[in-house]
Amino acid sequence: MDFGLDVTERQGCTVLAATGEVDVATAPQLRQEAVRLVAAGQSRLVIDLSGVDFLDSTGLGVIVGVLKRVRTHDGVLAVAGAENHVRKVFDITRISDVLPMFSTVDEACVAITSGDASTG
């Protein structure tokens, strides 16, 4: 599957959905779009990984960078929909300890808008 990005608004959150594989070839696009959204004032951000079938440390590093940037703007970032083998990258590095992760975008948006996104 080719890499792609899509931005939608849902339940008061901005959802950045990625599809395909996130690695050194594609992660810069994810970074660029996320940085653009944060700079535009989108401080409630969900990265939807349900369409991502591969993510390595380069993709993880980009998401860590987005988390830092969002927090600098007093915002909230959550990740939703990661398949087990993608989720494993977050768990092994323990980034999932500091980054709220949810099964679905809806769950992430509800948690963010209710101020309960500290637990995934």
Partner 1 sequence: MGEVVLEIPARPEYLVVARQVVAAAASVEPTFHDERIDDLRIAVSEATTNAIEAHTDLLSADRIKIRCNLGDDSIEVEVQDQGGGFDPGEVEEPPEATDPTRLEWERGLGIPLMKQFADETEIRPTRGGTAVRLVVYRSSAFRR
Q: Which residues of the chain form contacts with partner 1 (CB under 8 A)?
A: 21, 23-25, 54, 56-58, 60-62, 64-65, 67-68, 71, 85, 88-89, 92-98
Nearer to partner 1, 26 or 42 (CB): 26
Q: In the complex, what is the shortest distance from the CB of residue 109 to partner 1, in angstroms, rounded to a whole number?
A: 23
DSSP designation for 28: H
Nearer to partner 1, 7 or 64 (CB): 64
Cα(12)–Cα(84) distance, integer angstroms: 27
- Tokens representing 82 are 């990661």
Nearer to partner 1, 23 or 106 (CB): 23
Sheet holding 101-102, edge to edge: 4-10, 13-22, 44-55, 76-80, 101-102
